[in-house]
Structure 1
Amino acid sequence: MTLEDGGAGLALHDTTFVVVDLETTGGRSTDSAPGRGDHDRITEIGAVKIRGGRVIGELGTLVDPGRSIPPKIVALTGITTAMVCDAPRIESVLPSFLEFSRGAVLVAHNAGFDVGFLRAAAERCGIPWPRPPVLCTVKLARRVLTREEAPSVRLSALAELFRATTTPTHRALDDARATVDVLHALIERVGNQGVHTFADLRAYLPDVTAAQRSKRHLARAMPARPGVYLFRGPSDEVLYVGTAVDLRRRVAQYFNGADPRTRMKEMVALASRVDHVECAHDLEAGVRELRLLAAHAPPYNRRSKFPHKWWWVVLTEEPFPRFSVVRSPRHDRMIGPFRLRADAAETAALLARFTGVRTCASRLSRSARHGRACPERELSPCPAAREATAEEYAPGPARAERLIAGYEHTALRAVLAEVDDLAARGRYETAARLRDHAATAIDALWRGQRLRALVDVDEMVAARPDGAGGWHLVVVRHGQLSAAGNAGRGVPPMPVVEAISAAAQTILPTQAPLGGALVEETALIARWLAQPGVRVVRVSTESENGYASPIGAAGVLAEWSALARSARIAARQPADEPYDDRYGSSVTPRTRSLDVQAS
């Protein structure tokens, strides 16, 4: 039996380990900046397969990294560019290594480095990463050895401490052989502490408290199914809520030390039982988690401690409407949600300026004339600072309403045109500030329009492939999850759709925002629906367009907004760093703004 067959309880003597070591061109296994492609690459792989204290196989090869090897790496490892020019590429070496290590525990000294490079190489080669169990001899050494015995846990220091038969040389196979001796010595140390299987070793490796160990039985009643789990305290209060694709495995991790967070150890010490709710799939689990967090505000959930109290920009209902920043809108003429009040206020001021909506906060009667009563007429000119009756003022709020509803975006186009004009006149800092405010406004408008489009749908049934020939099914009503189910491989899905639709929860929309739906829930459903492979089975709605946003929605400028955010990030780079100029620049090299021509 191997670990792949569920043999985590195998005795250590019968467990197969593959000890691996890599040499690379540097320390970056992935790109340090999107699109730059400057990750480092593997130059050598060395691996030793062992079981029962005996070596049963070795694998060692140089790897052509497709680039020159830096001089400092040559000095460290002795591997030169000439040595690897005729070596195989990682695309041909990696499948052989994965076959060599199949069913075994991967062992490495500082495993995060070696496994990180292997995983990144598999991703770039389009090879599925098998997610083998991993053992780090650095972590094991720190757990087993005292500081007095081993002030350093570097491989060379441990090899000397345990009198390894091979001296580390910064060559992959030599270092892997030295790590084998270190692993055997460390396993001998834990044998007299009741660690006899790999499961015992995995539980022993972290610093597990006695309170955690004593409550391992709480995980045994969990099913190996997706769902939500709730840790409850001595007074039956909810301490923590989480989701899992495998409830039994995830809950067990809290008792074997796999979760190193101090607060989780404290929470487990207080817990008296663990409840669970089985779910059909990940979307149902995520929605149930959000609802439970909102209902119980568990003290050990970060999202409960710092809940999102959203801000909205609304168009007020009065003879001379204006934009106002509020917590709880009472109608659907709103923009948002915003996390920060400052972003909401800046968006309100920007859109007021380009739609002609007033910014003064006075409440004006219908018989008043705006310009005459406006207190901002002289010091801070109001966008609508002219003497106008309510009827003459009305076109501005009408433009704002059409902008919010997604029927036109001429105001946003006017903002972009002004950004271009400011940059053309050399007013780069002002253009950059306006660009950033415009991106925030576009994102908020588009986010709200997408969520409202989902909330406006009376009922939607959607399906996503489950990866095994079946379907994950959902029923969504007014932006909230009403039912969820599965149609397994070979099961006709439509009868299942009819059954879950008939049993689905009835949703009665309430006051704005979003008809009473949680912002987080509607956003989670919208992201799920946007995933590749999702199919809309049917839609029931009063709107003739079905599940759709108006053609004038802010989404047409979403790409411009994304580029604006990229330009803002690029402008923050230190002056001595190379600048990625893929997006073009319409300002001086020091400011690095965006070419703001809208598509």
Structure 2
Amino acid sequence: MGTPLREVTFVVVDLETTGAAPGAHALTEIGALKVRGGEVLARFSTLVNPGAAVPPQITALTGITNAMLVGAPDVAPCLEDFLSWAGLDAGTADNDSNPAVPGSGTPTDTVLVAHNARFDVGHLRGAAKALGIGWTEPRVLDTLALARRAWPRGKVPNHRLSTLAALVGASTRPTHRALDDASATADVLHAALEVLAPLGVTHLEDLATATDPVPARRRARSRLAEGLPTTPGVYQLCSATGEVLYVGSTVNLHRRVRSYFTAAERRPRVIRILDTTTEVRHVPTPTLLEARVRELRLIAELDPVANRRSRAPRRQPWLHLVAGPEPHLALTAVLPLREVGYAVGPFWSRRGAQEALRAAESVLRLRRRDDWVRTNSPGPSTTGGSPTAQASDRAASFLSGQTDLVAAEVLERVRRLAQAQRYEEAGTWTRRLRSLLQAALRAERTRPLLTCPHLVAARPREHGGWELVAVRWGMLAGSLVTPPGTDPRPGVAALRSSARVVSQPTLVGQEASVEETLLLADWVLDAGARLVEVDGDPQALSWPAASAARYGKVLHTDPHLDSDRPCHRG
């Protein structure tokens, strides 16, 4: 659920300087308060000898004279003492640390607070760097930005510290002395958080987006996340009429849904539907993998207006070989399962499929069907050792995993074009080959699962126990999680008996979309997974020696990823 703000330790700091740029000779005074739950836990105040004269105009503003600083400690020990007191020194704090609050007995998160924090934090950082003092970036909260969200222009004439202190009735008036200004800043902080609490700023994690320009009406809708579990699951953002506007999956339902109503959400198509979202439906799942699979299925079924991926999974084309007197390569969205071993795909777009077809045809020399119709030629026979039969055999070998048959020749063509400085043509053929290789890589990863009647795979969980997944004919049939420290074998038996019964399909994508099978392949065939049960030939779960994954430079991506695959994360 996150850390409530009442449990967060705020170190509210203010600096006085000579007016010089951040460095070793700028600080003249450091004042700070350590507050938590509205109470002051400790104070820190010291004058600092900057080793340089204080200009008269600075003395007039702050009242700090050169004579006052003669006996003060130098910048280095003052800065080290402050960082240690605040729990922000490099030896004890980092972005994920929980420094202990003196006297509290329990560790809490610490946030550095200042009014116009860029100035104060910039001077602290600059002095530490100039003096060689260890510095790790802390969490920072700027009360200037926070006040602009709490009290927009129109409610206050400006957002100076003195104006805000008067507005909230601060107990200390700002005087341009460090400790007084830090005390006034602390009062402004507490008042601003009270104003923003009804808008959803209630936890430490909310501070990262609290100062962003999110409409109050949208931020207030973060209450829709109340009561959601912190477990994996799939969720639906719905309108007042019950229409499903968006479907997503996540490892933490409460945190993810809450984030939609902060500045963390920047996608225009999603932002447009947030103001009409009145309900969040959710289904908890034992594993994140099952949540992602359910997401794909719901998007295909419901076609939500704000989702972009998986809206027509059964219209994605494959490249296959059409047999007959005049064999040729063709694209089809209806691929029999028995032909999946001799096909490449799916392609995410028709255009990409056409590009890949051009690349394959240029090497395999099989005349395309429309060419035969246009010339009205019966063509050569495919019997015996005819050129057509040989080309057909090469095409079948390529489609079944011998990627080199096409890739090597196209790459050689690209090399020759580049040597001739025909770079545009070289780029065109590289793009065509990339589309073909990406589809070949998808086929290589999905074939083992599409043709497997049943398998159970397992992966260890970070905090103990196992995630178990059952896959049948490329479809997720069930998943469960075993408790830490227990024998997982009863879980395997329970999953085997409770998993969904899936009949062997006749067409690819008939029971489950290929995107679902790809998700499962990424999980099952990953190096961290263990195959527990496999019906059929276990060797079918291996990749061909001439895998498309070998051409990582052409793919412009990690061999296990698709660079042209639409982003779908919710």
TM range (shorter): 0.5 to 0.7
Asked whether 1:16 is paired with 2:9, we answer: yes
Please tell me the residue identity of whatever aligns with 1:430.
Answer: E
Instruction: Give the CA deviation at 1:279.
Output: 0.7
Check whether the contact 2:459–2:466 (CA below 8 A) recurs between aligned residues.
yes
Check whether the contact 1:442–1:558 (CA below 8 A) recurs between aligned residues.
no
Asked whether 1:518 is paired with 2:513, we answer: yes
2:551 match: secondary structure: helix
2:345 match: secondary structure: strand
Instruction: Give the CA deviation at 1:484.
Output: 0.3
Deviations 1:25-50 (A, max 9, x none): xxxxxxxxxxxxxxxxxxx9999743
Asked whether 1:299 is paired with 2:284, we answer: no
Check whether the contact 2:234–2:285 (CA below 8 A) recurs between aligned residues.
yes
Correspondence list, 1:355-394, <5 A: 355-359=364-368, 361-362=370-371, 373=377, 388-391=380-383, 392=386, 393-394=388-389
Correspondence list, 1:119-268, <5 A: 135=141, 137=143, 139-147=145-153, 164=174, 181-182=184-185, 184-189=187-192, 191=194, 199=202, 202=206, 207=214, 213=220, 216=223, 219-251=225-257, 267=273
1:373 match: secondary structure: coil
Check whether the contact 1:463–1:471 (CA below 8 A) recurs between aligned residues.
yes
Of 329, 343, 349, which aligns to 1:334? 343
Check whether the contact 1:436–1:564 (CA below 8 A) recurs between aligned residues.
no
Distance 2:273 2:491 in 1: 40
Aligned to 1:585: none
1:338 match: secondary structure: coil
Correspondence list, 1:518-537, <5 A: 518-531=513-526, 533-537=528-532
Asked whether 1:106 is paired with 2:91, we answer: no
Distance 2:344 2:31 in 1: 57
Check whether the contact 1:239–1:298 (CA below 8 A) recurs between aligned residues.
yes
Higher gyration radius (CA): 2
Distance 1:268 1:342 in 2: 33
Check whether the contact 2:222–2:258 (CA below 8 A) recurs between aligned residues.
no
- The range that moved more, 143-152 or 456-465, is 143-152
Asked whether 1:550 is paired with 2:559, we answer: no
Deviations 1:18-74 (A, max 9, x none): 45899xxxxxxxxxxxxxxxxxxxxx99997433363637799xxxxxxxxxxxxxx
Deviations 1:160-181 (A, max 9, x none): 87575558xxxxxx8x997775
TM-score (norm 2): 0.67
Distance 1:323 1:477 in 2: 30
Please tell me the residue identity of whatever aligns with 1:390.
Answer: T
Aligned to 1:471: 466
Please tell me the residue identity of whatever aligns with 2:410.
Answer: V
Instruction: Give the CA deviation at 1:435.
Output: 2.8
Deviations 1:472-530 (A, max 9, x none): 11111122111100111111111101111111112224344355421221122222235
Q: Which runs of 5+ in 1 are unaligned?
A: 23-43, 61-82, 119-128, 168-173, 365-369, 375-386, 570-599
Question: Percent sequence identity over matched residues?
Answer: 30
Please tell me the residue identity of whatever aligns with 1:50.
Answer: V
Correspondence list, 1:571-590, <5 A: none
Of 39, 49, 56, which aligns to 2:42? 56
Please tell me the residue identity of whatever aligns with 1:439.
Answer: R
Distance 2:550 2:262 in 1: 50
Distance 1:270 1:50 in 2: 39
> 1:410 and 1:484, CA in 2 relative to 1: closer, same or farther beyond 3 A?
same
Check whether the contact 2:325–2:381 (CA below 8 A) recurs between aligned residues.
no
Distance 2:558 2:267 in 1: 37
Deviations 1:86-141 (A, max 9, x none): x99xx9826434353751253557999999xx9xxxxxxxxxx99x9975545422
1:199 match: secondary structure: coil
**Aligned positions, number:** 469
Distance 1:253 1:326 in 2: 41
Instruction: Give the CA deviation at 1:352.
Output: 1.0
2:544 match: secondary structure: coil
Aligned to 1:318: 324
Asked whether 1:96 is paired with 2:90, we answer: no
Check whether the contact 2:10–2:113 (CA below 8 A) recurs between aligned residues.
no
1:289 match: secondary structure: helix
Q: Which runs of 5+ in 2 are unaligned?
A: 16-26, 47-75, 101-106, 126-135, 166-172, 564-570
2:202 match: secondary structure: helix
RMSD (Å) for aligned C-alpha atoms: 4.9
Distance 2:489 2:275 in 1: 47
> 1:198 and 1:210, CA in 2 relative to 1: closer, same or farther beyond 3 A?
closer
Please tell me the residue identity of whatever aligns with 2:428.
Answer: R
> 1:196 and 1:443, CA in 2 relative to 1: closer, same or farther beyond 3 A?
closer
Please tell me the residue identity of whatever aligns with 2:93.
Answer: S
Check whether the contact 1:443–1:558 (CA below 8 A) recurs between aligned residues.
no
Distance 1:539 1:108 in 2: 57
Instruction: Give the CA deviation at 1:264.
Output: 6.2
> 1:7 and 1:186, CA in 2 relative to 1: closer, same or farther beyond 3 A?
closer
Correspondence list, 1:48-87, <5 A: 49-51=34-36, 52=38, 54=40, 56=42
Instruction: Give the CA deviation at 1:284.
Output: 0.8
> 1:338 and 1:151, CA in 2 relative to 1: closer, same or farther beyond 3 A?
farther
Check whether the contact 1:15–1:198 (CA below 8 A) recurs between aligned residues.
no
Check whether the contact 2:403–2:546 (CA below 8 A) recurs between aligned residues.
yes
1:546 match: secondary structure: helix
> 1:263 and 1:422, CA in 2 relative to 1: closer, same or farther beyond 3 A?
closer
1:222 match: secondary structure: coil
Deviations 1:344-385 (A, max 9, x none): 112111111111211351456xxxxx98828xxxxxxxxxxx
TM-score (norm 1): 0.64
